[in-house]
Chains A and B, each alone.
Chain A
């Protein structure tokens, strides 16, 4: 980034007016593109009638009903039965009763969310571990057919996920891996490892070889030098790569919807099928969506410096 002294005559520095116009337009774009996300957030705090009112309500009385409905299942009861119940034990209980319902038990959202966490973190760990070793191998040694192997690793990403899912579905059925976390972890690892190898090779290429060579001159083995010199230097790159893998595994839908149905189902195939009485329970869907998107928001902010590299498989570096 240029930090030189900018004079009034500089030809590359835009005029203040150009800057103001650009700032306004970019801000306008940003605000408009945020509307759907703000609406998701707001809908999560609406009551079901408010969520489907016409005209759409931007100002409403906030309620936790969406979040309560997200985490519970409810059943409708007769007024006579309701009268025999002890006073409501929680806010959610109270809201349910006001709709002539009682809470029947927890919903499947929490276990699906936990599945998402376990599968995303485990597959990220495996992909990054494998990717780090492979990337170091490709970066430092003369591997025969290295370019072809790297291209092969990348080309595995070109298959449409549904095309991959057909044989995987049959294979997992034979191996008993259908609808298991282990099966999903293996699958996401194999998808993410290509990204990990490409990104990490770029990061490791940037670490001067002289560092390890100096350590090796001092009598350290190649593996020892890798462990003590290269890995600490590559921490930032490994962390950035891990977050990219995590986001992919977290957001993935196609494999999840085809290969999991219960036990190992993750949140993305579950959220769209949250239904209430008489159709989709939009406040609950919005609540589930909000909780699901929040971690990604945090990661986006963390990653902003490495974003470009991650989304282009390391092809563009800043």
Chain B
């Protein structure tokens, strides 16, 4: 990767390069001030666009502020919003829908992703090309692609219903993926799995490739069955990679908005109304800014807390 130029010739090259007077002049900075000079802009930007708004959100969450009536008198409501959120059945329904979505997508993507990675690791001819093709869905815009799935899911005219009926013999207009309460949660799980299985597969593939061959060779000498090799070598050594993939997918899907908003927009009723959709409705349709700010803070604390606990577990597995 990095070219191994001998250090002396490199210094010559540098010396030969035309010196830039501006850099020369700035050369008087100490390392310490350069470090801050380099890092400060990023920190300032994040403070302005992330932290300041976060603090603002916390403040709003204690008020009755409404974004569509900025001039109405502001009243402090204390912890009322937090209390009513925790006893709001709609919020709990949204959390349940989110949990259903997150758990099933993770389960399906891990299983399929592992199978796919294991197959790709058989190193057949052309595996690199096929891997690149498989990776395409995860690079695409979830919003734009999710929107198109709405078309594929149309009963009668949609390709998905047609193919399912072609394979199973059920009439294509006898079921509605997006329109029925029973199937809608699965319609979003299916699209997410289609998009992100390659992601999980790619990370697990890196894990499989990190296992040195000699371990398998030693196991073979000890006459360990392939089943045994899988359980006591492959799985434990790939586990940190699986956990990392689960972490990233978990955080992403906990925040899920774009694909679901375009595919079902939370419907039918509120069957697929995941947390972010509820948040959007409260904040930008009902304009209950204070209330939705409190919900946003609860969501952030939840994802942050869960991720922290999880990372601790991940580090413990890694150290083993």
Using CB atoms and an 8 Å cutoff, list the residues of chain A in contact with chain B: 2, 11-14, 18-20, 22-23, 25-27, 29-30, 33-37, 39-40, 43, 52-56, 130-131, 133-134, 136-138, 140-143, 149, 152-153, 155-171, 173, 186-187, 189-190, 193-194, 197, 206-208, 210-211, 214-215, 217-218, 220-225, 227-229, 233, 236, 247, 250-254, 257-258, 267-269, 271-272, 280, 282, 285-286, 289, 292-293, 296-297, 299-301, 304, 307-308, 311-312, 315-316, 318
* Complex interface: chain A residues within 8 A of B120 (CB): 22, 26
Supply 12 further A-B pairs (C-beta < 8 A) apart from A37-B140, A141-B32, A221-B29.
Answer: A12-B216, A26-B120, A54-B162, A56-B162, A141-B35, A160-B255, A164-B53, A167-B60, A170-B67, A171-B56, A190-B50, A269-B143
**What 5 A-B pairs come out closest when comparing CB atoms?**
A221-B27, A253-B143, A163-B296, A167-B53, A137-B38
Interchain CB contact under 8 A, A56 and B157: yes
Given contacts A223-B34, A300-B139, A2 and B303 within 8 Å (CB-CB): no
**Is B39's CB within 8 Å of the partner chain A?**
yes
Interchain CB contact under 8 A, B206 and A160: no
Interchain CB contact under 8 A, B147 and A285: yes
Q: How far is B14's CA from A271's CA once the two chains are assembled, in angstroms?
A: 50
* Complex interface: chain A residues within 8 A of B149 (CB): 36
Q: How far is B217's CA from A25's CA once the two chains are assembled, in angstroms?
A: 26
How far is the CB of B229 from the nearest CB of chain A, in Å? 10
User: Residue B241 contacts which of A53, A229, A316 (CB distance < 8 angstroms)?
Assistant: A316
**1/0 contact trace for B258-280 toward A, CB 8 Å?**
10011000000000000110011
**Is B92's CB within 8 Å of the partner chain A?**
no
Q: How far is B68's CA from A243's CA once the two chains are assembled, in angstroms?
A: 38
How far is the CB of A268 from the nearest CB of chain B, in Å? 5
* Complex interface: chain B residues within 8 A of A221 (CB): 23-24, 26-29
Q: How far is B141's CA from A267's CA once the two chains are assembled, in angstroms?
A: 11
Which B residue sits closest to A234, measured CB to CB? B2
Name the segment of B77-85, B128-136, B179-187 touching the other chain: B128-136
Q: How far is B130's CA from A296's CA once the two chains are assembled, in angstroms?
A: 17
Which A residue sits closest to B32, measured CB to CB? A141
Interface of B is mostly: helix
Which B residue sits closest to A169, measured CB to CB? B67
**Is B230's CB within 8 Å of the partner chain A?**
no
Q: Which of B118-176 contact A (CB under 8 A)?
A: 119-120, 122-128, 130-145, 147-149, 151-152, 154, 156-159, 162-163, 172
How far is the CB of A92 from the nearest CB of chain B, in Å? 23
User: Residue A272 contacts which of B127, B147, B276 (CB distance < 8 angstroms)?
Assistant: B147
* Complex interface: chain A residues within 8 A of B127 (CB): 23, 26
**Is B8's CB within 8 Å of the partner chain A?**
yes
Interchain CB contact under 8 A, B203 and A312: yes
Given contacts A141-B34, A160-B279, A251 and B56 within 8 Å (CB-CB): no
